[in-house]
Amino acid sequence: MRIGFIGLGNVGGKLANNLLNNQFDVIVLDKDTKITNEFESNGCKVSKSIEDIVEKTDIIITCLPSPQACAEVLESDNGLIKNIRNDQIWIEMSTTDEDQLKRHASLIESKNAIALEAPVSGGCHRAATGNISIFVGGSRKGFEKALPVLKCLGRKILHTGDFGTASILKVITNYLATVHLVALGEAWTIASKFNLDLDKTFKGIAASSGNSFVHETESQVILNGSYNINFTMDLVEKDVGLFQSLATKLGIDLEISPLVLEIIKDAKEKFGSRAWSSMVVKRLEDKYNTSFRATGYPVELVDKEKKQTGYEI
């Protein structure tokens, strides 16, 4: 099975490497030649155009940073929609706009090809090992056809239903993660200003009803001071913005989401769009002249669990 992979960013590059390391026949495409040169040096084929990658593969995976980037790859004169062939599979792994996704899927399917969405959740460290979770929306037939590839890319794989359902679920989970990240900034501020032992505080939260996946992961790089979660401020702003747009579409007047989005925008303004998203907590560190530091925490998260064969949940 020949796989084309378009988009080799923080997540996409790790997912593509998993396929390569598992002996799949992979050809990649990305605007960043430094990244594609690294893949080429590891024995991976590199494509120069979308037309070329479509011609040479059975499955095309896109993992792109924004709805605009997705539109460029799918809708351009030389794009995926124009070139995709009968029975080819397109898997969209980007976190993007629901309406745009559905429109792209309809256009892909009008060419008698198969459209699936498969956003991931669980952090870049799990994307690197293939232990990340994957939500998949689209036909059951298409899901089962792509499942051998999905089992390599992730561990827990959920078929969410029709195309569009997976992306809505992913946006919801990203929103919840961001809410807890912002709340952790306030929690760490109180703990540090009361001079609590921050290592014991980390362990206490982890053992309590206040624990979360975000605390177990992002708090570690916050306490280290690197903040390196491999996810940037512009991306978290996009995700919360997508969640807010879902509420607006439904005419739902949310209370927490607008405030969280405002906080993220302020952090992006202070630290830059490419700053690590976990630096949102630094707003309060700086404002109250404190520091969330403890010894023994990693600079960057590493998934220490061995890769397990993926399975449907």
Residues 43-91 pLDDT 10s: 899 999 999 999 999 999 999 988 899 999 999 999 999 999 999 999 9
10 pLDDT more than 90? no
Question: What residues does 158 pair with on adjacent strands?
Answer: 135
Q: Are 313 and 156 a contacting pair, CB within 8 Å? A: yes
Residue range 100-119: average pLDDT? Answer: 95
Q: Are 202 and 223 a contacting pair, CB within 8 Å? A: yes
Domains parsed from the chain with CATH numbers = 2-163 (3.40.50.720), 168-287 (1.10.1040.10)
Condensed to tens digits (0 to 9), the pLDDT of residues 225-257 reads 999 999 999 999 999 999 999 999 999 999 999
DSSP per position, the chain = -EEEEE--STTHHHHHHHHHHTT-EEEEE-S-HHHHHHHHHTT-EE-S-HHHHHHT-SEEEE--SSHHHHHHHHHSTTSHHHH--TT-EEEE-S---HHHHHHHHHHHHTTT-EEEE--EES-HHHHHHT-EEEEEES-HHHHHHHHHHHHHHEEEEEEEESTTHHHHHHHHHHHHHHHHHHHHHHHHHHHHHTT--HHHHHHHHHTSTT--HHHHHHHHHHHHT--B-S-BHHHHHHHHHHHHHHHHHHT---SHHHHHHHHHHHHHHHH-TTSBGGGGGHHHHHHTT-----TT--SB----SPP---EE-
How many Å apart are CA 39 and CA 35, to the nearest integer?
7
Q: Name the phi and psi angles at 191, rounded to 5.
A: -60, -45
Residue range 168-176: average pLDDT? Answer: 95
Look at residue 90 in the predicted model and tell me its pLDDT.
Answer: 97
Q: Name the phi and psi angles at 254, rounded to 5.
A: -75, 160
Look at residue 65 in the predicted model and tell me its pLDDT.
Answer: 87
Q: Beta 132-137 vs 120-121: how paired, if at all?
A: antiparallel
Give the percent of the chain with pLDDT over 90. 92
Read off the tokens for 10.
């923080």
Look at residue 1 in the predicted model and tell me its pLDDT.
Answer: 83
Look at residue 95 in the predicted model and tell me its pLDDT.
Answer: 82
How many Å apart are CA 70 and CA 62, to the nearest integer?
8
306 pLDDT more than 90? no
Mean pLDDT over all residues of the chain? 95
145 pLDDT more than 90? yes
Residue 177, CA distances (Å) to 37, 182, 260, 283 in order: 34, 9, 11, 18
List, in order, residues 6 or more apart from 207 with CB less than 8 Å away. Answer: none
Q: What is the chain's alpha carbon radius of gyration, rounded to the nearest angstrom?
A: 20
Q: Are 90 and 81 a contacting pair, CB within 8 Å? A: no
